[in-house]
Amino acid sequence: MCAVPATARIETPIGMIELVAVGDALTSVRIFPETGNEWAHRQNSALECAVDQMRAYFAGQRKFFDLPLESAASQEAHQMRCAIAAIPFGETATYGAVAQRVGTIPRAIGQACKINPFPIIIPCHRVISSSGREYYSAGAGPETKAWLIDFEAVHSHGIRTRLL
């Protein structure tokens, strides 16, 4: 028997965030730049925990997430996800620096960020370009990325470190 997805949408400063869980794991996070009504489709402990942690993040009270996430598709994807998640709150790292830590190329990190099913939780917004041109596939794109980086800078006591 297949588990039924549980879904919630919450209002945040960057728009609506939709969280989906199946069974005891979060399966996706999507950011919609528009606003709307909050709602929860069905009760699920993983989903409730994700909603609580997301609210605490946007209240400036949480700097990391501790949630059961759906497994990555491959060992390589898992390693890239871990490298991105290791970038501390309020800090950034270039695609090249993250790639070097994993033993891959910057383009692979860019693709991992692009298909990241857990934006904010796996903080791909903290991965930046060394050329200055920014991309972001969630929410309103680079505007959302800039907002998240600035928000974290403010909530990390104004200290922001760019790792090269």
Which residues are tagged catalytic?
124
Residue 73 tokens read as 């598709």
User: Helix, strand, coil: what percent of the chain each, to 5?
Assistant: 35, 20, 45
DSSP 8-state symbol, 122: S
Q: Which residues contact 161 (CB under 8 A, 6 or more apart)?
A: 90, 91, 92
Torsions phi, psi for 10 (to 5 deg): -125, 145
End-to-end CA distance of the chain: 48
Residue 92 tokens read as 């950034």
DSSP 8-state symbol, 8: E
68: left (phi over 0), alpha (psi -120 to 50) or beta: beta
